[in-house]
Amino acid sequence: MSDIFISREAVENQLNIASGLNKGGDKKVCILTFGCQQNEADSELLSGICERAGYGETDNPKDADLILINTCAIREHAELKALSRTGQFKKLKEQNKDLLIGVCGCMAEQKERRDALMKSYPYVDFVFGTDRLYMLPEIIRNAKSAKKRSIYISDLPHNEFGVIAEGLPIRRNSNHKAKVSIMYGCDNFCTYCVVPYVRGRERSRESCNILSEVKALVDGGYKDIMLLGQNVNSYKGDISFPELLKRAGSMDGEYFLRFMTSHPKDASDELFEVIRDVPNVAKQFHLPVQSGNNRVLSAMNRRYTREKYLEKALKIKSLVPGITMTTDIICGFPTETEEEFLETVDIIKQVEFDMIFTFLYSPRPGTPAAKMEDQIPHEEKVRRFELLSSVQNDIADKLNEKYIGKTVRVLCDSSEHGECSGRTSGNKIVNFEGKAMVGTFADVEITSAGAYILKGKEKDEK
């Protein structure tokens, strides 16, 4: 197997190419990001590399000299959105022949999608895969000079590809919220999921690099830091994930340290204790259950049972009273019967999640579930989705009502004319009257609550 770490020289070589690309120019890049937080984090790296290459940032594709479309493949809907957006750039390319357009992210890793993109969107200049991100300077240079359309992709099979490139510049979207990738890829191969095929094998950054990035963020005034990975509990650096979380949460100062995503089979008591004991570690736990039925869980290759899930979910709730619990659910996995679905409804009621993210099952080419017989009709998926949503709304209403009259600590995300909005350690959205500045903490007394938003008034307002 090849070494996953890109050498310092190779990264520096790319950054040198970047520095020479637009000397003294006033070029602009527009980056469109679809999908998950990992893609958002990748886009901040792309933006950082572009900054080094002399590109300012713009939200408006019409003002851009370079457009990068960072795609998602998790569900068909996400793919269609990215394709339709890409289609809108045909006119811009006709008006400006020097405009460069690149497509990257998870769709770029799928051969059929890649080929279709190159064929149907002839104005796309280049396509690059998720592990070729660090090569962006070379990719831009080639596109500028050769005027030849190119594809940059690993030639290794999906269970072998994937790299780690340290030392890339980052241009972050926020001055108080930051994402820090701790690992990449996934080896779990849940039967419905495309991630292991498009993000490659599971690989972890070294803890010293992660911790120095977190330290720099805390020192730089960041107050909400999210450790990111497809499956953070199987982090395999030189220390365990709970230890990493503990160290990252024990730096001087007040901040929320969050993490995403946990796999139930790997969530340990040690992790629960760190959440309980380290004040800066946010009191929030996202634990995707996907289904509440053992046969479906097994068909999904989730490798835990309903009973084991319940045991862990109820344990963390009792260890950390008031913790915000959230989950992901797939509606209409192939072969799922009504009775099996009702066990999912039941698990929702038993755990009492603060919020659930519910998805209609979307067949992903190349995954085992897409080939299963007994695919569930769309209308039936929607019916199950709606039933789950209404059960969940009642639960969330009931849980949030308990906040009324209480005071919560809120990190302010927006503040205008006395109307502020922010999030608690548990990631609850709070809209409040007050004068808090963006990126600072406020104590807010909750006066009313709905299923998704708490409302209140800042205390000790001067």
Residues that bind ligand 5AD (CB under 6 A): 74-75, 192-193, 288, 290, 328, 330, 359, 361-362, 364
Residues 196-255 close enough to bind ligand SF4 by CB under 6 A? 196, 230-231
CA 299 to each of CA 262, 303, 341, 447: distance values in angstroms, whole numbers, following the listed order: 20, 10, 14, 45
| Residue 186 found at the interface with ligand SF4 (CB under 6 A) | yes
Residue 308 beta carbon to ligand 5AD: minimum distance, rounded to whole angstroms: 17
Q: Where are the beta strands (DSSP E) in 312-392?
A: 324-331, 355-360
The smaller minimum CB distance to ligand SF4, of residues 35 and 54, is found at: 35
45 Cβ contact partners less than 8 Å away, ≥ 6 residues apart = 133, 168, 169, 170
By a kind-dependent CB cut-off of 5 to 8 A, residue 231 interacts, out of ligand SF4, ligand 5AD, none, with: ligand SF4
The smaller minimum CB distance to ligand SF4, of residues 186 and 420, is found at: 186
Starting at the edge strand found earlier in the chain, the sheet holding 100-105 runs: 55-57, 27-33, 66-71, 100-105, 126-128, 150-152
Residue 375 beta carbon to ligand SF4: minimum distance, rounded to whole angstroms: 19
Residue 74 beta carbon to ligand 5AD: minimum distance, rounded to whole angstroms: 5
Residue whose tokens read 């570690």 = 281
| Site pattern 7..26 for ligand SF4 (x: CB under 6 A) | --------------------
Torsion angle defined by CA atoms of residues 403, 406, 411 and 413, in that order, rounded to the nearest 10 degrees: 60
Residue 350 beta carbon to ligand 5AD: minimum distance, rounded to whole angstroms: 19
Q: Which two tokens stand for residue 52?
A: 């080094």
Q: Please confirm whether the linkage preceding 33 is cis (ω < 30° from 0).
A: no
By a kind-dependent CB cut-off of 5 to 8 A, residue 188 interacts, out of ligand SF4, ligand 5AD, none, with: ligand SF4
Comparing CA positions, the residue from 181, 243, 224, 156 lying closest to residue 39 is 181
| Residue 37 found at the interface with ligand SF4 (CB under 6 A) | no
Comparing CA positions, the residue from 384, 400, 386 lying closest to residue 344 is 384
By a kind-dependent CB cut-off of 5 to 8 A, residue 74 interacts, out of ligand SF4, ligand 5AD, none, with: ligand 5AD
What percent of the residues of the chain are helix, what percent strand, and what percent coil, each to the nearest 5? 40, 25, 40
By a kind-dependent CB cut-off of 5 to 8 A, residue 330 interacts, out of ligand 5AD, ligand SF4, none, with: ligand 5AD
Which stretches of the chain bind ligand SF4, using CB under 6 A? 186, 188-190, 193, 195-196, 230-231, 263
